Chain A
Amino acid sequence: MRETTSKKLYQMGKEIVEQINEEKKPSMKIPVRSLSNIKWDETNKLLTLGDKKSKRHFFNVGHARKFMQTLLIASFCKDIVDENIHASIRDMYYNLKHSIGGSKENTFEEQAESDPLIVDIETALQTLREQLHLLADRKGVVVGNVVVEDRGDSINWSKLGSGGWSIPSVVEDIKFEKVDADFVLVIEKNAGFERLHEDKLWKKYNCILMGTGGQAARGTRRLIKRLSDEYKLPVYVLTDSDSYGWYIYSVIKSGSMALAHASDELGTPSARFIGLTISDIKDYKLEKSVIRANDRDLKRAKELLEYPWFHHKEWQQEIKLMLDKKIKAEIEALSSKGLKFLSDTYLPEKLERKEFLP
């Protein structure tokens, strides 16, 4: 794997050097990542990147800086891949930042300049940040009857007290030693995770319980994907009943627009949505715990309506219901029926009735 990545980076440099040797003005091709080039792959149920590419020329005042920066990042990545060490994207930013040729100009002025170029290289080389040895933010915890080996340590996810196992940003090299679970339950909220963990829900239902703490990080998404692929475990996702929660679900399932190039690696099309839905509000008599949806919520909901991956009639119904009633609800709304309502009533009922949204 490392050799492949290193070779890809070498190739990238080599192509440019060849252009220079042929006295051609050097340029590189970068896949376009704007909305216009993001496609919905109906067969695989994933967001993917289209064929459009843009050319970045060195001898163009508007491109020169980005061209230079892209090469700096590529050569940094080659170094760390060859040395087999990892760096966070912030590490990289600081490592590469320096003033240019005695001028006041820096190679990078802020991390916001380097971050998108990492994705450029990922897409151009059809590789992933993780393979470039760059660490994305880590976020997300997991518990369950699972034992893994990570850098020579054996870790039992069921024996980690109240905290659970913190999911690393790169899960590629993790080996599963034992996986004893019937499904994976992913919950968007850290507080919700702790509640269910305390209730030992994962023991009761023999599942793997995962908390994402908002939008799922790449490592977490990759882990869900691996568990789904390698152990054929069903994945159920629990989020707030609003447009943002639903989008978190859709990213886990179908990939995101920002990382459309990596949907293959990160998306889990078999994932199902367990709750909360707007219908739940009526079904579980939560009317007193709803929140009025604001304009932003509604605007976002209207956008969801348009996304092809929300075109299932069940989803259209839910979203329209939200737009119609102008309400939303948090997972915690279920606590109005008692703290254990979520683990003792709501989830068992949903699982029992197989009441999932696609």
Chain B
Amino acid sequence: MVGTSIFGCERMVDDPAGKNAEQMAKEHKEISVSEFFEKNRHLLGYDNPTRALITVVKEFVDNSLDACEEARILPRIWLEVKSTTSDRFRVMLKDNGPGMMDNRIPQTLGKLLVGSKFYKNLQSRGQQGLGTKGAVMYSQLTTGKPTSIVASTGNGKTSFYELMIDVKKNEPKIVSHQYIEDGRVWHGLKIEMEIEGRYVESKSGVGEFIKQVAIANPFAEIIFDGPSGRVEFQRGAMELPPLPKEIKPHPYGVELGIFRRMIQETSSRTVKSFFTNDFSRVGGISADEICKLAGVNPGVSPRSIDADNSEKLFKAMKNAKLLRPPTDCLSPLGEELILSGLKKEIKAEFFSSVTRPPSVYRGSPFQVEVGIAYGGELPQEGAVDIMRISNRVPLMYQAGDCAITKAVAGTDWKKYGFNQSGKNMPTGPGVVMVHFASTWVPYTSESKQAIASYNIIIKEIKLALQEAGRRMQKYVSGKRRFEMHQQRKKIFERYIPEVAESLGKLTKENQELIKAKLQKMAKEVTEVKLFESELEGDDIEEIVSDGEGDS
């Protein structure tokens, strides 16, 4: 097992809130990052007790799944959320992940912003809040209690920690620690803390979140033991999706602040090699061109670049003609995994899924996937359930601001079998899941619950929805045809006795015989696709102009 521990690979660095916190920390040296958290917890998903509970659960689950995936382990997660007092909950997560090396545990969990390679461009879940460290902090703030960690990497030894964070120094505070051979050989991690929170059963509650996680990660087995009982989510697939590849940032997608930090922290010796080494799609010629445009000597050391020149380089970089970023770094779920996720958790009668080819917005590759479940036990009335998933993590809040919501409302669902009035959300027996996979998800705000509505993003989502919709429409019309067929059969069956009786009376022929013959014919007629031509509502009696027997 390598030194990367599960929480060590947490991608808080990719996340603007983290960046924001960090930038602020730099600007105001007197405030530690931990203090910053304390003062700005509303930005980080801890603004109210309901939200805080869901954020903690989310951090735990995200980190577990990311760690398992990276270690190529099929995740098995046990999550417990139990109330201790009226406003406090004990949250415990245990996984079968790679575990964590003993000496890394305090730094990884007890110091905010540790190990930040902030410009790492990789599709991962950990773009939410400050990760588990934020949770440790929140627990400590609201209950004053330490977080307990039990972990092992499979070397026969188990670490036991009780950790807190020294807020002033931004250092881990070890309350207790043991590293012993307890006779068990296992790998994984168990983390447990008590927090202030509120548990609600709702569309944006913990239960729904876990269910959506189970759908978006069908290769994970999740047991959720919550305040209202235990729910088990079985695996729907036995294979992990391929590991996303890390790519260097593309110049078009980098912001000035990040660019300045990159140039300060790079290990490249010249400005030219900084561009070719630290960015994707920048070769020697392009690098020279950027420097020329900016009027900067490509041979100088990046450290010598002042604020003025870094801005010039930044602008030049944006204007340079470059190839789009590579898109093979993305790891979509794929149409099959989406289907298996939906099928195992939703009792519908029809499922379809679509994975779009990758696309690029502002230098960041992204890929959209859509899954639709239709009919079955889904409620006939009411709005279609929309599941917004970003890098396999369900988004629970701010649906109204999200590109996914806008794309769903902007799609003409009537064509595909849902009801819809104007540009409202569709209604009918359905669930629509949209997965947005990207190395950098453009959230609308720090709370990271809504994807920004770039035209290209809306367009891609719509295209995926339309394609899945068309597949659904085929099914729905087939179903309607079948129902019509059944109805037709019933009509004939119902009328046959009346017809036979009338014919019997008119002709004195054997009624029962006529009836039997008609019934046999009805069977053939409804089985053969003879009615295809009638499908278009052809109930107008055709006109035959033979003039026979007319005067």
Contact = CB atoms under 8 A, between A and B. Distances in A.
A53 B507 CA distance: 24
A7 to B, nearest CB: 11
Interface stretch (B385-393, B440-448, B537-545): B537-545
A145 to B, nearest CB: 36
B534 interface: yes
Given A61-B534, A100-B495, A54 B544 contact: yes
Interface residues of B, number: 42
B503 A58 contact: no
Most chain-B CB neighbours within 10 Å: which of A13, A50, A60, A74? A60
B509 interface: yes
Contacts of A49: 550
A78 B547 contact: no
A232 interface: no
Given A53-B545, A64-B492, A65-B491, A13 B503 contact: yes
Interface in A75-91: 75, 78-79
A71 interface: yes
Contacts, number: 122
Most chain-A CB neighbours within 10 Å: which of B494, B499, B538? B499
Most chain-A CB neighbours within 10 Å: which of B498, B541, B547, B549? B541
Q: What's the interface size class on A, roughly? A: 35 or more
Nearest to A72: B502
Nearest to B493: A101
B539 A16 contact: no
B551 A71 contact: no
Contacts of A72: 498, 502
A62 interface: yes
A21 interface: yes
A132 to B, nearest CB: 13
B488 to A, nearest CB: 5
Interface in B484-504: 484, 487-488, 491-495, 497-499, 501-503
B498 A107 contact: yes
Contacts of A139: none
Given A21-B517, A68-B498, A107-B498, A75 B491 contact: no
B254 interface: no
Most chain-A CB neighbours within 10 Å: which of B495, B525, B531, B537? B495
Contacts of A62: 534, 537-541
Is chain B's binding surface mostly helix, strand, loop or mixed?
helix
A12 interface: yes
Contacts of B300: none
A312 interface: no
A74 B506 contact: yes
Contact of B514 (A20, A29, A50, A54): A20
Interface string B515-551: 0011001100100001100100111111111111111
B495 A65 contact: yes
A40 B450 CA distance: 73
A11 B319 CA distance: 90
Contact of B499 (A31, A71, A79): A71
Contact of B495 (A54, A68, A78): A68
Contact of A59 (B484, B492, B501, B545): B492
A25 B523 CA distance: 12
Interface in A96-117: 100-101, 103, 105, 107
Contacts of A51: 545-547, 550
Given A10-B506, A25-B525, A55 B491 contact: no
B505 interface: yes
Contact of B517 (A23, A53, A63, A68): A23
Interface string A33-75: 0000000000000000111111110111111110110011011
B505 to A, nearest CB: 4
A2 interface: no
B521 A25 contact: yes
Nearest to B540: A62
Contacts of A178: none
A23 B521 contact: yes
B506 A71 contact: yes
Contacts of A291: none
A23 B520 CA distance: 9
A126 interface: yes
B495 A59 contact: no
A50 B551 CA distance: 9
Contacts of B491: 61, 64-65
A147 B502 CA distance: 42
A100 B548 CA distance: 34
Contacts of A126: 549, 551
Contacts of A63: 539, 541
A13 B510 CA distance: 12
Interface in B12-38: none
A68 B501 CA distance: 10
A75 to B, nearest CB: 4
Contacts of A74: 502, 506
B546 A53 contact: yes
A65 B495 CA distance: 7
B538 to A, nearest CB: 7
B506 A68 contact: no
B541 A30 contact: yes
A13 B507 contact: yes
A79 B505 contact: yes
A300 interface: no
Nearest to A70: B502
Interface in B72-92: none
Given A51-B546, A68-B498, A9 B539 contact: no
A100 B538 contact: no
B544 A9 contact: no
B531 A61 contact: yes
Given A9-B506, A10-B506, A61 B539 contact: yes
B544 A55 contact: yes
B495 A17 contact: no
A74 B534 CA distance: 27
Contacts of B487: 61
A32 interface: yes
Contacts of B503: 13, 16-17, 20, 71, 75
Contacts of B521: 20, 23, 25, 59
B502 A13 contact: yes
A20 B524 CA distance: 13
A30 B541 CA distance: 9
B539 to A, nearest CB: 2
Given A10-B507, A51-B550, 14 more contacts: A9-B506, A13-B505, A14-B506, A17-B514, A20-B521, A23-B521, A25-B521, A50-B550, A52-B543, A60-B539, A62-B541, A71-B502, A71-B506, A75-B501
7 contacts: A52-B544, A53-B548, A61-B488, A62-B540, A63-B541, A75-B505, A100-B498
Interface of A: 9-10, 12-14, 16-17, 20-21, 23, 25-26, 29-32, 49-56, 58-65, 67-68, 71-72, 74-75, 78-79, 100-101, 103, 105, 107, 126
**Closest 10 pairs (CB-CB, A-B):** A62-B539, A13-B506, A51-B547, A54-B541, A71-B502, A75-B505, A75-B502, A13-B507, A68-B495, A59-B525
